[in-house]
A and B are shown apart, each in its own frame.
Chain A
Amino acid sequence: MKLTLKIWRQENATTKGKMVDYIIDGIDGDMSFLEMLDVLNEELVNKGEQPVEFDHDCREGICGSCSLQINGQPHGPDKLVTTCQLHMRTFKDGDTIVIEPFRAKAFPVIKDLIVDRTAFDRIQQAYGYISVNTSGKTIDANSIPIEKEKADDSFNAATCIGCGACVAACKNASAMLFTSAKVSQFALLPQGEVEADRRVLAMVDQMDKEGFGNCTNTGACELECPKGISLENIARMNREYLKASIK
Chain B
Amino acid sequence: MGGLLKSSVAKKFAMALSGLFLVLFLAQHFTINLTSVISPDSFNEISHFMGTNFLVQAILQPVLIFGVVFHFIMGFVLEIQNRNARAISYVRYNGSANSSWMSRNMIYSGAVVLAFLGLHFYDFWVPELVHKYLESHPADATRYYGELVAKFVSPVRTGLYVISFIFLMLHLLHGFSSSFQSMGVKNKYQKGLEGFQGSASRWVYGLTKGFAIVIPLGFIFIALFHYFNNA
Residues of A within 8 A of B (CB): 6, 8, 19, 69, 71-73, 77, 98, 100, 103-106, 169, 171-174, 176, 201, 204-205, 207-208, 211-220, 223-224, 231-232, 234-242, 245-246
B7 and A205 contacting across the interface, CB-CB below 8 Å: yes
Write 7 A-B pairs (CB below 8 A) sorted by A numbering: A72-B90, A72-B95, A205-B7, A208-B8, A212-B85, A236-B184, A242-B9
- Identify which of B21-29, B100-108, B134-142, B160-168 touches chain A: B100-108
Q: Is B157 interfacial (CB-CB < 8 Å)?
A: no
Chain A positions within 8 Å of B82 at CB level? 171-174, 213-214, 216
If over half of B's interface residues share one DSSP class (helix, strand or loop), that class is named, otherwise mixed; here it is helix
B99 and A219 contacting across the interface, CB-CB below 8 Å: yes
Docked complex Cα distance between A236 and B91 (Å): 34
Minimal beta-carbon separation of B54 from chain A (angstroms): 33
Q: A98-B92, A103-B89, A103-B90 are in contact. Are A204 and B103 (CB under 8 A)?
A: no
Q: Which residue of A174, A224, A242 contacts B98 across the interface (Cβ within 8 Å)?
A: A224
Beyond contacts A212-B85, A220-B99: 10 other A-B pairs, Cβ-Cβ < 8 A, are A72-B93, A174-B85, A201-B3, A204-B8, A215-B12, A216-B103, A223-B97, A223-B99, A238-B9, A245-B3
B86 and A173 contacting across the interface, CB-CB below 8 Å: yes
Minimal beta-carbon separation of A141 from chain B (angstroms): 25
Q: A238-B183, A239-B187 are in contact. Are A105 and B10 (CB under 8 A)?
A: no
Docked complex Cα distance between A34 and B37 (Å): 65
Chain A positions within 8 Å of B97 at CB level? 72-73, 77, 223
Chain A positions within 8 Å of B9 at CB level? 204, 237-238, 241-242
Q: Is B13 interfacial (CB-CB < 8 Å)?
A: yes
Q: Is B38 interfacial (CB-CB < 8 Å)?
A: no
B85 and A220 contacting across the interface, CB-CB below 8 Å: no
B184 and A242 contacting across the interface, CB-CB below 8 Å: yes
Q: Is B35 interfacial (CB-CB < 8 Å)?
A: no
Q: Is B178 interfacial (CB-CB < 8 Å)?
A: yes
Chain B positions within 8 Å of A100 at CB level? 90-92
Q: Which residue of B3, B7, B85, B184 contacts A211 across the interface (Cβ within 8 Å)?
A: B85
Chain B positions within 8 Å of A174 at CB level? 8, 82, 85
Docked complex Cα distance between A231 and B201 (Å): 14
B98 and A169 contacting across the interface, CB-CB below 8 Å: yes
Chain B positions within 8 Å of A204 at CB level? 7-9
Chain A positions within 8 Å of B100 at CB level? 218
